[in-house]
Amino acid sequence: MPILTEPVGSLPRPMKLQEAIASYDRGEITKQQLTAEQDAAARDSIERMEATGTAIVSDGEQRASSFATYPLTDTLAGTGLADNLAADGQYFAIFDDGHHRQLPRLTGGPFRYKTYAADLFSQSKPYATKPMKQAVIAPSMLYLLYPLKDELDGYSREQFLADLCDEAEKDIRKAFEAGAQRVSIDFTEGRLANKRDARNPWTGEDLLQTFIELNNRVIDRFTPEERRNIGIHTCPGGDCDSVHSGEVDYAELLPSMFQMNAGYFLIQLASEGDKERVYQLIGDNIRTDANGVKQVAFVGVIDPLNPKVETPEEVADALVTAARYIPTDQLGATDDCGFSPFSIDVKPKHGSPDFARDIAFRKISSRERGARLASEQLGI
């Protein structure tokens, strides 16, 4: 079987949509008008992604406030924030260019998602003629909604985590029920958990193992057959063409990451300095039997933060090299990250989000052609 490919999920929102979101936050347009802009962007995203030749597409997350906050708020500015949340939570991440992204703060229970990924997926699905995937947020990211040290009055951490696991399970099940062929769980906080950044206290609390166990509490509720199509995405972040944890050694993450009983992994790799070392780490740690499922590693062959378009030959070379360390029946190709995980992102290195969209589709096309080329070279 040729090398499989899969996108992470997001695409830059067109400038017109980003302006509509700002107008909505200012109360100048209605929710219906905003939805119409999201609809147009989702349709365009699906049509153009299908035109790249990729076998599985997404709607570019054009309706989501971000990969992490879609269950909680309609816009990043906090319009439509769910119950029991305040805007001033922990920093999720401080990026290398100095900007940061902040999570809401839980003020009480019970914790419930306001929006499930399937609610957004279902609106986009009619535009697709190919199978679609959906990304969901990891429970380990939403763990950070709860105060880092204190207990909330009348709502213990354990009660919160029980509710969170139920909601995360529901998010995944609903996505499959709505017709998603694959569901990947965004786990960008995994690598960040070893950063030990004094400006961002949770990154100094050795939370990686807590995160892994929490995510497995959800993943283990699914059968091996279901888990074949449940993935995990890891990356050092990707926002405003900047990262948050590129300096954290993958050796601190990958052995733990493959302990999650997911069927596949979407792994940032194109922008790594020493790729062969990471291929080897993957080969050493990926499991052929994760409670009944053989894990597949989709290695990143496209850098969504860099406007330079990779050639199919470069993609193929990377995959052929990776195949020296990872069995070909456990090897796939992906992009290092979504092309714009947050809705408001002007893609500064690209010059504009609209140009960045054009670049993204060319890059996806290269990923497809490169994977086919590598499959031919490897004789699979």
Piece in contact with Zn ion (CB under 5 A), picked from 105-113, 133-141, 238-246, 303-311: 238-246
- SS3 label, residue 56: coil
Q: Which residues contact 48 (CB under 8 A, 6 or more apart)?
A: 357, 361
Instruction: Please state, in angstroms and rounded to a whole number, the distance separating the CA atoms of residues 165 and 167.
Output: 5
For residue 185, state whether it binds Zn ion (rule: CB under 5 A).
no
For residue 270, state whether it binds Zn ion (rule: CB under 5 A).
no
**Smallest gap from residue 224 Cβ to Zn ion (A):** 26
Instruction: Please state, in angstroms and rounded to a whole number, the distance separating the CA atoms of residues 350 and 202.
Output: 32
Contact (Cβ atoms closer than 8 angstroms) between residue 103 and residue 150? no
- Pick out residues in 186-205 that bind Zn ion (CB under 5 A): 188
For residue 267, state whether it binds Zn ion (rule: CB under 5 A).
no
User: Which position among 81, 135, 235, 326 is part of the footprint of Zn ion (CB under 5 A)?
Assistant: 235
Piece in contact with Zn ion (CB under 5 A), picked from 78-86, 111-119, 144-152, 333-341: 333-341
**Smallest gap from residue 49 Cβ to Zn ion (A):** 17
In the numeric block, the tokens 């030959």 are attached to 313
Instruction: Please state, in angstroms and rounded to a whole number, the distance separating the CA atoms of residues 249 and 299.
Output: 16
Piece in contact with Zn ion (CB under 5 A), picked from 101-109, 183-191, 196-204, 289-297: 183-191
Instruction: Please state, in angstroms and rounded to a whole number, the distance separating the CA atoms of residues 70 and 340.
Output: 14
Per rule CB under 5 A, count of chain residues that contact Zn ion: 4
Four-CA torsion 370, 180, 269, 15, nearest 10 degrees? 90
Cβ closer to Zn ion: 188 or 343? 188
Piece in contact with Zn ion (CB under 5 A), picked from 180-188, 220-228, 269-277, 348-356: 180-188
For residue 337, state whether it binds Zn ion (rule: CB under 5 A).
yes
Piece in contact with Zn ion (CB under 5 A), picked from 142-150, 175-183, 336-344, 371-379: 336-344
**Smallest gap from residue 128 Cβ to Zn ion (A):** 22
Instruction: Please state, in angstroms and rounded to a whole number, the distance separating the CA atoms of residues 110 and 246.
Output: 35
* Neighbour-count burial of 199, counting CB atoms closer than 10 A to its CB (0-12 exposed, 13-18 middle, 19+ buried): exposed
Which residues are at the interface with Zn ion (CB under 5 A)? 188, 235, 238, 337
